[in-house]
Structures are given as structure tokens and as C-alpha cells.
Amino acid sequence: MGDTGVSVLVFGHFVKETGYDNPYSSSGTRTMPSDQSVQQAYALAVESYAALGVDVLAATQRVEAIALSLHCWQGDDVGGFEKTGSALGGGIAVTGQYPGKARNADELRGDIAQALALIPGKHRLSLHASYAETSGRPVERTDLEPRHFQAWIEWASSQGLGLDFNPTYFSHPKAVDGFTLAHSDPGIRDFWIEHGIASRRIGAAMGKALGKACVTNFWIPDGFKDTPVDRFRPRERLVQSLDRIFREAIDPSLNRDALECKLFGLGSESYVVGSHEFYLGYAIRNRKMICLDAGHFHPTETISDKISSALLWLDEILLHMSRGVRWDSDHVVTLSEDVQAVAQEILRARFDRRVHIGLDFFDASINRIAAWVIGSRSVAKALLLAALEPLAELARRESAGDYTGRLALLEEAKTLPFGAVWDYYCLQNNVPRGEDWLREVRRYEKTVLAHR
């Protein structure tokens, strides 16, 4: 083996790679399992799972059919391309100075394509209205049309991606005082109502062009930093604004609406108009989805336990997979117990088609493409783990009142050979397994991001 490069075992023989700094290897030699050993480990894993009544092939096929909606805004720190001169608003913040953020739509598309090449499965892309392409001409948010997203639609179609959409109710001069659809000024409310109406039409056009319904998610920042004396009237105004936005009937095979609640944001610590109770009630009455963002509740409150209740009253819901850390709700998702519990709730109750899974985090302190990949692969792992649960046996023990056996098996299931199935799943989906995806990201960083 040479001493300048790293050697990797591929298909049973060593291949030397140059220019890659492997932090783990001082000898200059690294081995990774060959495809053959991945297959062997997989075959043994299939036997272990089968002993508990789990069909591994069926589990992987099930997970493959679940799309994650990747959020475009991780790639440029929620910047968008409007050039309104407004800083990131709405009480959300991105910290970090990692170099190489996307500066325009072409760069962003390239970055998303690179991330998608490292994530197993077929996925979707979620766009914000602020990512419109208006050929350098400013277009007001009330005047946005499907044609301003034509390049995105064509690109999504070429990549086989479905699109989801989000009106942008922040980073705008008409949102600076922290209120939009619930503003006390009817002129400002009208502006944002028009933006909502325009956004649903864009969503429907995306759904039509791609043959896959678009989920259009409404999140507004409206709220007070300090204790309000009137919590009621802003909520009344929000109902009226939403009613006007949703007046136009749109075919649900083209566009479906979701409403995202929040507990607090920067500058809205004491009161948020669109609380959980507010939107749950609104969604039930108006047959909308609610969007549960994992970072939008009290620190010890989890969204997993909300899914089964919400789906008794609603046909479908949207999730924003995120990770709250102290005051911040937007860290990169990891394979935490919370995320595993969400996946278990979806798969155990067979909600695969009723729960839409979106990602929502933004971290500028690490490589942005790695952030997408880590977050997405973590959610995919959680789904696969949940699909591999010995559920029939667990349910049998539960209904027999054998809670001792239920707890025992839940714990034993944690050390089943999941990693072998995950590696094989990555192999089958033609994406790198183990940490090999990071090498791709580092290569892209050197060849593309470093030149920005």
C-alpha cells in the first residue's frame, strides 16, 4: 500500500485512492466490507429477524415507498433568492459560517442533487416561495406565479422528485413587526392573504405538472415578545385570514394544505397566535392537515404521541422532522429516541400514507450537504428500524396482558442486527454505506463548494 493515499477494499481487492484524508487511519490502509460481506451479513440478519417473525424484505420494500420531503432551505441558510434586503426574520435564526453555501438556484439544485445521491429511497423537495426565480426582476410575493418556479418544476421532473411548497411569511418588510395574517392593520393582512392564495395556486401547478399532490405548508411567525392583554382577537383575525386564503377550492390530487403551529420563537416568546390548539381546531373544522414540527413544543413534549390522536380527527398530517436543543428548534436530526418513536408510531399503526414526512432544520456550522444527508439518513434509519420491529409478537403479548414480555422483547429488539440490513438497503439503493457518503461530500466540497 502506498503511503500517500488510502486503500479501500472493493469487490475483494484493494483500490488506492489519493487525496483523501482518512482521519481514522495512521497506517494509510483502510478496509471496508465488500459487497459480498454485506450480503453475507444481511443473510444472517434475515435469519435473526425471521426467528422473531419479521420479514426483512417486506420491511425494506415498505420503507422504500415512504418519501421524505427534503427542505431546500438547508442549502443556503433560509436565504432565498429575492434580494429584498430583508434579513432572516420571523424569529428563526441560522448560526455558523461554514463556507460554500448556495448563492443561486443552480448551485442549490446541484447541492440538493448531490445530497439525494447519498440518501437511499425516492424523495421529494420542499420549496419556499422565497426561492422563486424571477430573472433578476423583483416580483412581489402577492404576484408570484407558477412560471416563477418553472425551472424548479422541470428540474424536479428530471430528477423524479415530487415538490412541496411553503408560502414565505418572514424576511420581508411587511413582516418586520412580527405580524402577518393576524396583523391589526387590514392592509398588511390583505397582502399576506394574497400571498397565501398565490402560493396554493403554485402548489397546485406543481402537483399538476409532476402528477403528485403538492403539500403546501403554512407557517406564520405572528406573536408577541411580551405578555399580551388580548390573546383572543389576533386569533380571530387569523381565522378570518385563513378562511379567505382557503376559499378557493383546489383539487386535493393537486394540492393539500397544512398548518404549522409553534410554541414560541425569537421575539415571540410570550405568545404565538398560531398555537397547537388553534391549528388543531382549525384543521379539524376545515379538513386541513396540521404540521407537527418536533421543535415547536415544550422541551419534554414529543410529537410522537400526538400522531395517533391527530389522525382520529384528520385524514392526513405533515411532520417537520427537526431537533430542538434548548432554545433552538432547528438542529440537524439524529437517530434519537424521539425520532425512533415517531417512526414507530407511523409504521405500527400503518399510517404510511397518512403521514407526510418533511425535514426542517438549518445548520450553517457544518457542511450543509452533510447536514441534509445526516438528517435524512437518520430518518430513513428510524423508519427501517421501525419496520423491522417484531410487531406481531409485541402486539400479541400486549393484548394478552403480558407486559413483562412486551418490555423484554422491546429491549431485545434493540440489539438485533439492524446495521447489516441498513448496509444492504444502501447497497440495493445504490448509495454509499457506512460513512462512505462523507467521502463523496468531501470530494464535492473540494471540487465545487470551495470555489464559491
- For binding to ligand RNT (CB under 6 A), which residues are involved? 73, 78, 92, 166, 219, 260, 262, 293, 320, 360
Contact partner at residue 78 from ligand RNT, Zn ion, none, CB < 5 to 8 Å by partner kind: ligand RNT
CB closer to ligand RNT out of 78 and 118? 78
Residue 375 CB-density burial (10 A; 0-12 exposed, 13-18 middle, 19+ buried): buried
CB closer to Zn ion out of 67 and 258? 258
Contacts with Zn ion by CB under 5 A lie at 293, 320, 360
CB closer to ligand RNT out of 222 and 293? 293
CB of 227 to ligand RNT, least distance (A): 21
Helix (H, G, I), strand (E, B) or coil at 304: helix
**What residues does 165 pair with on adjacent strands?**
127, 216
CA triplet 151, 77, 300: central angle to 5 degrees? Answer: 120
Q: Let me know: does 367 contact 445? Beta carbons within 8 Å.
A: yes
3-state SS track over 110-128: HHHHHHHCCCCCCCEEEEE
Helix (H, G, I), strand (E, B) or coil at 153: helix
Contact partner at residue 257 from Zn ion, ligand RNT, none, CB < 5 to 8 Å by partner kind: none
CB closer to ligand RNT out of 255 and 329? 329
**Rounded to 5, what percent of the chain is helix, strand, coil?**
45, 15, 40
Joined grid coordinates for residue 143: 404576484
CB closer to Zn ion out of 119 and 290? 290
Contact partner at residue 183 from Zn ion, ligand RNT, none, CB < 5 to 8 Å by partner kind: none
State how far the Cα of 124 lies from the Cα of 211, in Å rounded to an integer: 13
Q: Tell me the DSSP string of 173-216.
A: GGGTTS-STT-SSHHHHHHHHHHHHHHHHHHHHHHHHHTSPEEE
CB of 443 to ligand RNT, least distance (A): 29
State how far the Cα of 296 lies from the Cα of 274, in Å rounded to an integer: 11
Contact partner at residue 73 from ligand RNT, Zn ion, none, CB < 5 to 8 Å by partner kind: ligand RNT
CB closer to ligand RNT out of 199 and 340? 199
Contact partner at residue 92 from Zn ion, ligand RNT, none, CB < 5 to 8 Å by partner kind: ligand RNT
CB of 133 to ligand RNT, least distance (A): 18
Could you give the residue numbers annotated as active site?
219, 260, 262, 293, 296, 320, 328, 330, 360
CB of 315 to ligand RNT, least distance (A): 21
- Which residue, judged by CB position, is nearest to ligand RNT in the bound state? 219
Residue 50: count of CB within 10 angstroms of its CB: 11
CB of 333 to ligand RNT, least distance (A): 13
CB of 180 to ligand RNT, least distance (A): 13
Contact partner at residue 323 from ligand RNT, Zn ion, none, CB < 5 to 8 Å by partner kind: none
